[in-house]
């Protein structure tokens, strides 16, 4: 299509430059994680420096950090697994039996994800206080499961609608039970949807701050809260701490979009737009 190879090369260089420009601020923080304290807050930015592992080691040795990181992991993976489990059942029902009100329930669920976080957390906070669920592990994980359900349901239903009804018919005619049909015949066809729902829900929970800050307690705190409170506790901000924590915490999502790039579109649109980029 392109007659001039040098023009194509120039075009490719431009694309790379655009991509790198978008990444530069992140790169700057990543570099900061490997700078010594003095280099980090020098009025003349230091571009060349001897990398040090000091900051990262200090953060990892911090007693709370690993606990919080572990909690980020447990809460995001656990809640998304619960959400995908229950969403699959509902998505199967919606896709195969289309009970009355399907569209309405799907709409209500999606709209819960479109409300500002502070408006969502306010009544839950009041309710949890009365039920005694605030600061508990189950309160947190079940809340995040609810948080992940709308997106899982939308994405799984979208993919299920794409799985031919023949699978169900064949399985049922051959004497399979309904559960067998659902889990052994239809579920395996759903792998891309499951992967996309899993990865992107985990990213959303992983990055979540406000709910965890308000509803979480000592044993259920995740890293974003550590970052925010670490910054907000008066006095000077410990920038090498912030940089190292951000570095460690931002790597998994970046890695995820590298590995699962083809699900990025469906992931970022809550499963409402499908396709690859």
Partner 1 sequence: MAQTTFPAESPAAAPAIPKARRRLPFARALDESRFFPTILLGPVLVFFIVWNVVPLLWLLGVSFYRYKLTAAREPRYVGFDNFIEIWKSSEVWGLLGRTLSFMVLTVGGATLLGMVLGFLFWGSGRLPGRRLALTLLFTPMVLPPVAVGTFYRLILDPIFGIANFFSEKLVGQRYDFLGNKDLAFASTIAVDVWMWTPFMILMTLAALASVPKAELEAAEIDQIPWLKRVWYIILPNGKFILMLGILLRTIDAFKTTDLPYLMTNGGPGNTTEFVGLSLYRTGFEAFQMGDASALAIITLLVAIAFASIYLYVLSYRETRAQLK
Measuring CA to CA, which residue among 102, 104, 155 is closest to residue 273? 155
Cβ-based nearer residue to partner 1, 142 or 195: 142
Report the C-alpha gap between 27 and 21 in whole angstroms: 10
Choose one: 60-68, 123-131, 162-170, 190-198; the region binding partner 1 (CB under 8 A): 123-131
Interface characters, 13-52, with partner 1 (x: CB under 8 A)? -xxx-xxx-xx-xx-xx--x-------xxxxxx-------
Cβ-based nearer residue to partner 1, 111 or 170: 111
Measuring CA to CA, which residue among 77, 79, 58, 15 is closest to residue 252? 77
Interface characters, 131-170, with partner 1 (x: CB under 8 A)? -----------xx-xx--x---x-----------------
Binding-site size, partner 1 (CB under 8 A): 100
- Residue 179 near partner 1 by CB under 8 A: yes
Cβ-based nearer residue to partner 1, 66 or 231: 231
Pair 261, 192: CB distance under 8 Å: no
DSSP 62: S
Render 113-166 in DSSP notation, one character per residue: TTS-HHHHHHHHHHHHHHHT-TT-HHHHHHHHHHHHHHHHHHHHHHHHHTS-HH
- Residue 194 near partner 1 by CB under 8 A: no
State the minimum distance, in angstroms, from the CB of residue 224 to partner 1.
4
Site for partner 1 in 43-102 (CB under 8 A): 43-45, 85-87, 89-90, 92-94, 96-97, 99
Distances (CA, A) of 196 to 36, 94, 155, 256: 39, 19, 8, 11
Site for partner 1 in 195-214 (CB under 8 A): 203, 206-210, 214
Q: Which residues contact 190 (CB under 8 A, 6 or more apart)?
A: 88, 156, 159, 160, 163
State the minimum distance, in angstroms, from the CB of residue 22 to partner 1.
5
């Amino acid at each position: 299509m392109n007659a001039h190879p040098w023009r194509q090369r120039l075009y490719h260089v431009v694309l790379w430059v655009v991509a790198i420009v978008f990444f530069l601020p992140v790169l700057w923080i990543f570099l900061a994680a490997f700078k010594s304290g003095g280099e980090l807050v020098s009025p003349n930015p230091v571009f060349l420096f001897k990398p040090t592992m000091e900051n990262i080691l200090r953060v990892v040795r911090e007693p709370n950090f690993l606990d919080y990181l572990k909690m980020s992991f447990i809460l995001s993976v656990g809640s998304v697994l619960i959400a995908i489990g229950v969403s699959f059942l509902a998505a199967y029902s919606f896709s195969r039996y289309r009970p009355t009100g399907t569209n309405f329930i799907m709409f209500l669920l999606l709209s819960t994800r479109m409300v500002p976080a502070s408006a969502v957390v306010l009544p839950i906070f009041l309710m949890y206080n009365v039920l005694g669920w605030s600061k508990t592990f189950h309160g947190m994980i079940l809340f995040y499961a609810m948080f992940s359900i709308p997106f899982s349901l939308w994405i799984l239903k979208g993919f299920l609608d794409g799985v031919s009804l023949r699978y169900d018919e064949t399985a049922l005619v051959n004497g399979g039970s309904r559960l067998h049909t659902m889990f052994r015949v239809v579920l395996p066809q759903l792998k891309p949807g499951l992967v996309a729902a899993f990865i992107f829900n985990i990213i959303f929970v992983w990055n979540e701050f406000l709910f965890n800050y308000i509803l979480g307690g000592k044993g259920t705190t995740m890293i974003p809260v550590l970052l925010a409170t670490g910054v907000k506790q008066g006095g000077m901000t410990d920038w090498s701490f912030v940089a190292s924590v951000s570095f460690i915490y931002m790597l998994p999502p970046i890695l995820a979009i590298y590995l699962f790039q083809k699900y990025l579109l469906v992931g970022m649109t809550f499963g409402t737009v499908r396709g690859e980029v």
